[in-house]
Amino acid sequence: MKIRSTTILAVRHKGRVALAGDGQVSLGNTVMKHQARKVRRLYHDRVITGFAGATADAFTLYDKLEQKLEQYSGNLLRAAVELAKEWRTDKYLRRLEAMMIAVDRDHSLLLSGTGDVIEADRGVLAIGSGGPYAQAAALALIDHSDLDAEAICQAAMEIAANICVFTNSSIIIESI
């Protein structure tokens, strides 16, 4: 599933994890909003999430993930796997057009409606139309700079915003 119109980036580096999202909301080729908040904290602020895709669908996923986190006492990996199973098999949820990245102190996970729960080898995940640009920039910065996770997110998101027309430089970063 290719989701356009946003960039979400997670970077795990030097004992920290940061998740960033841009603020642009596009409808077709028109920018409708410049400062949307696509990054949100869940489960007593111990989990940070970001979404790409339809907003209403993303809020449904936030609610479902929050329920799973409550059910599994904040265990993100277990909650994500159970959400992915439900997302893939439930007749209503299957139609949701969104992807999500969720991070906590121990895990950085990409969740999709096809049942994927992916944890990156190098601690960098990205989704949305600017995701490949942000991910490439973040990996280069990890290898060739002394920046921390938050600074890498900021720099990589700015690079993506300069390349992807569906991404802007109004960046929100949350970290643990």
Q: b/e per residue, 22-39, with b = 16+ CB within 10 A?
A: bbbbbeeeeeeeeebebb
Q: Give 3-26 pLDDT, tens digit per residue.
A: 457 999 999 999 999 999 999 988
How many beta carbons lie within 10 A of that of residue 162, not counting itself? 12
Overall average pLDDT of the 93-105 stretch: 88
Return the closest-CA partner of residue 19 out of 1, 56, 45, 44: 45
**Catalytic residue from among 6, 7, 49, 167:** 6
User: Is 6 a known active-site residue?
Assistant: yes
CATH of domain 8-169: 3.60.20.10
Q: What is the pLDDT of residue 58?
A: 84
Overall average pLDDT of the 114-122 stretch: 91
Report domain extents, the chain: 8-169
> Which residues are CB-contacts of 91 (< 8 A; sequence separation ≥ 6)?
none
